Every structure is written in C-alpha cells, then in structure tokens.
Structure 1
Amino acid sequence: MSTLLHHIKIDNQPLYYLDEGHGPVVIFCHGLLTNSTMWRSQIDQLSSQYRCIAIDFWGHGKTTTIPESVENLQDVAQHVLTLMDNLEINSAAIVGHGSGGAIAAELILHAPARINGLVMLNSFVGFEPQVNCVKYQGLMAQVANEQAITADLAQTISTLFFSKDIEQLISLDPNLANIVAQFSAELTSYSSAQLSALLKFANMAIFKRDTLESVELLTLPTLVAIGLSGYLRTALESYLMHDCIDGSQLLHIEQAGHLANIEKPVIFNQHLVDFLSKVNFN
C-alpha cells in the first residue's frame, strides 16, 4: 500500500486516511488535536502482518473541512463505517485514542458484528467531567477568539498532552524533545479555515454522550490502556471502563501521559501486538 494519504468524499467533503500493509485490518482513530501521524510507530510495527488504516478526522491533519450535516460522534462513527464499506472491509479491529476511543465505541454499538477487537488508549466513554469541560471550552474559546492556535496556547496544550515526567523521559530518549516541539509546531500551523472545522469537532468531542452503561453490552476482546502520568485522563476512569466491559484487559503505562503510545512505544506496541495476536479476525 502507498504511504500517501487517500480520501473518500462524504457529503462532498474529503475525509483522508492512511492505508499501509496487508492482512487483517486494524483501524486507528486519533483523538482531539492529534491526527493519523500519531500512530506511526504502531503502523511501522504492525504493517508487515496487518493492513493498517489511520484516519484524519474532520478538522485534523489533511482533513481540513467538516460536512454541515455532522452533529455528533455517532455521525463520525458512521463515517468510519462508510470508509470500511468503500474499501470493502467487512470487519476489523479498532484502536482509539482519546475521543477516537469514544468514536470506536459508538461504531461498535451501532455495528458490533463488524469489529473483532477494541483498544482504547487514554479514552473515557462516560460524560466528560464538568471541570474538564470548562477547561477545554476555555482553550477552544481562545482559539476561536484568536482565529489561531498561538505559540503560547500550543505550549499549554502540549504540556497537557505529554507526561508529567516528560523531562525525565527526554533524558532517556532525546528524540522525544523533537517530538514535543513538532507537536507544538503542528498546532500553530492550522489555517483559519481548518480551525472552523476543528472547533466544531472539538465541541462534539467535549460534549459527547455517555455510553458507559451501554459498553456493558460489548462482548468483543478489549484492551483498556492509560498512561499513569497524564493530565487529561485518570486511572479511575480506566478502572470504570475495565469493570463495565466484561473480560477486558487493563494496561497501566508508568510515566506516560496522554500520548503514551508515542512516549512509551516499545511497551505499548508489545501489548498491542500481543492483544491483536489473540483476536479472531475470521
């Protein structure tokens, strides 16, 4: 498969995605303010055995617009199914990060027979706590007022996304410093037009519906993973989801934050490979 991004049209708007490798399909769903590139280490690890599809959701990465008809994450989940139909993919495993995990849950609740396995990384499918909503609304209000993500705001967001122990991690892996700097730089590169789509997606992600009780219905193999040194999600939330999803596995990653798959790729990849090896893709 080409490493170039492809796209499909949904309501005349292009939704971009990466398609690499051959074999059983694994779909990667990023969270708010990230994009398909966050999964590079995982795709490099898996693409020799799996067909890896990583989506740039509305307002993120190469996908700079959003259809007027999109109202919530249920709609976005339907778009993932539309992509699967377009690519003639009957079933897949799905890996979701942040709000991407909520999208994955919505997809499975709508079409459970089409998903073989679920990985949720630093995701929570219940209502967003009010204190978080207020904080995130404040950040997005700054973006709306400035019609840009300023360097100062990008630094604030970057701090929230990486581990509380990021300086120690950088001392062990100096390349992480470049990754942190690149993350901040990408945030400041959004055009004013793309920010409009981003803000609409952000509102849907922040005020997503509560599906915590509904995920009790999930019967597929599930891995719930969280970085224990993050600012955005808590270990308690991972315990709640682990308890709600019968038979799920729980992975706590020490010293990692919201982007645990980037900060601790060896550990996350090891558990991801092991998990997928036990998924029945037939």
Structure 2
Amino acid sequence: MSTLLPCKIIDNQPLHYVDKGDGPALIFCHGLLANSQIWQVQIAALSAHYRCIAIDFWGHGQSQTIPKACENLQDVAQQILSLMDMLEIKNSVLIGHGSGGAIATEMVLLAPARIHGLVMLNSFVGFEPQVNCIKYQGYMAQIANQQAISTELATTLSEMFFTKNAGKLSHQDSTLAIEMSLFTEQLTQVNPAQIAPLLKFANMAIFKRDTLESVEALTLPTLIAVGLQGHLRTALESYLMHDCIDGSQLLHIEHAGHLANIEKSDFFNQHLVDFLSKVNFN
C-alpha cells in the first residue's frame, strides 16, 4: 500500500502532493493520466539541493476529488498558486509534463513575478489538434462506460506514453518492460469514485485554451524538451513554442516518448540540473 501523501484543502477539497528536500522550490506538474510518481527519479536527484513539490492533480493519484467550481486549467493554476501560499513558497521553478506544462504556463501568466523558471516536457500550449481531441474523447468514453480503466485499455495507453514500438522493444529491454508495467498498473488502480473527477479534469486538459500568443510575452528562463519518438506530442509543437518564447532552450530527447523523463532519466536530469543552475531564485 502506498504511503498517504500530505494534502491541503483547496476550494473545500484535499489536494495531495509530495514535499521532499530543502532549498529553492521546484513544483512538478504531471500530465493527464499520470500522477506525482512519474517524478520519482527527478526528485531523488534534486531533493538534496531543492525543495521538490510534486502534485497529484484532481482525479489523479491520491487527489481523488475535484472542486465544483474548477472549470478550466486557469482555475487549476490559481489553485496551485494557493497551494504555494499555504506551503509558504514565495517563488519557484515549474516543471510540467504534458498538460501539466499548460497548467504551469497558466501559472506564469497569472503570477509572473513568482515563477523564476519554466520547464515543459512534451507539452503544448496551443489548441489540441481536432484529430487528437476525437481520439482522446474515445478513450475517455471507454473509461466512463466501464467506470474503470481496464487492463486492456491501460496497456494501450501505456504503449502510447512510451517510445514508438515500446510493446515490441520491451521484450528485449527489461527496464522498459518494468517501467511500462508499473505505469499500466497505476492506470488500472484508478478507483470508481475518482472516475468522474478524472474525466472532468481530462475534458479541461483536452479542450484547453490556446496561449501561444500569450507566451510571446514570457521573459523567464524556459526549457522546452521533447521526446522524438512519442505518440502524443510532436517535435513541431515544441518548435512552435520555442519560436514563441524568446530565449527559450529546446532539448531533443532521442529514443523516448511522452514519459521521456522516465525512459531517459539520466539524460533529462543532466539537462535539468544544468538549466536550474542558471536560474536566479532571488
């Protein structure tokens, strides 16, 4: 049984999070269908020098509810800023994965003085392409109909989160096989009580607003990382964000998909440590 994470009551609902280490604050924001566990390797590498906060967003992990008034990712961003207040964190660097990168960007737009650096891994802040919306809605409909994430669907989703041909490659790569098995198990552990909150969050993430033009005004240090063998995000989307955010860095991660921070953790951590060393937290 996993350890119960601490939580804060935000808009009358418990939001759970990991809080490990001391020093300047890093806030880790996972994407849709993931949870704070995806950041374990990064937290292990960074918590000796930084205070690492990894959130379980609404409907994910141990945060199994969602506030009634939470209607979009801007609302979620404001709630995480409230969490920062409760944890007495004046400023931080945000590290976002997938839709967590969109939430992190909304936080920067809401409170630019409080965010001193931004990392986006396999994220996109523009409108979700229509073909993706239709595909993702299909998966969410399966979850809604079954009131669970079946092993079959979890296996399909897990293969999408890792490098292309991960299913075949895992037969020769035991580490990849273990990583995929753990993620599949995590998906199947979603309980019926959190299905409705998860689906509400999914709808907000899939139909997020377009902030590509807004991010042109960002001036903070930004690292945009993309796994080049992913199913869910394209390198072109990262190029677009890189072009929009003046002075941003673009990192290609070879032989990795959506969860590149897990598949190529050493490579990603190396570049993350280098990026953070150049951020002024004062």
- 1:231 deviation in Å? 0.2
Alpha-carbon distance in 2 for matches of 1:113, 1:133: 33
- When residues 87 and 119 of structure 1 are mapped into structure 2, their CA distance, relative to the original with a 3 A threshold, is same
- When residues 172 and 270 of structure 1 are mapped into structure 2, their CA distance, relative to the original with a 3 A threshold, is farther
> Is the Cα contact below 8 Å between 1:32 and 1:99 reproduced in 2?
yes
Decide which moves more: 7-16 or 236-245: 7-16
Give aligned pairs, total.
Answer: 280
Q: Please show how residues 1-282 of structure 1 align to structure 2 within 5 Å.
A: 5-166=5-166, 170=170, 174-282=174-282
Deviations 1:211-252 (A, max 9, x none): 011000110000000000000000100100000000000001
Amino acid at match of 2:198: L
Amino acid at match of 1:18: V
Alpha-carbon distance in 2 for matches of 1:25, 1:165: 36
> Is the Cα contact below 8 Å between 2:171 and 2:177 reproduced in 1?
no
Using structure 1 for the length normalisation, give the TM-score. 0.97
Deviations 1:35-79 (A, max 9, x none): 000000000000000000000000000000001110000000001
Decide which moves more: 171-180 or 80-89: 171-180
Amino acid at match of 1:26: L
Quote the RMSD (CA, aligned, Å): 1.3
> Is the Cα contact below 8 Å between 1:4 and 1:18 reproduced in 2?
no
Amino acid at match of 2:65: T
Alpha-carbon distance in 1 for matches of 2:110, 2:170: 41
SS in 1 for 2:70: coil
Deviations 1:114-147 (A, max 9, x none): 0000000000000000000000000001111111
- When residues 169 and 266 of structure 1 are mapped into structure 2, their CA distance, relative to the original with a 3 A threshold, is farther
- 1:11 deviation in Å? 2.1
- 1:166 deviation in Å? 2.9
Q: Which consecutive residues of structure 1, in runs of 5 or more, have no partner in the other structure?
A: none
Using structure 2 for the length normalisation, give the TM-score. 0.97
| Structure 1 runs, 4 residues or longer, greater than 4 Å off | 167-173
What is the aligned-residue identity percentage?
70
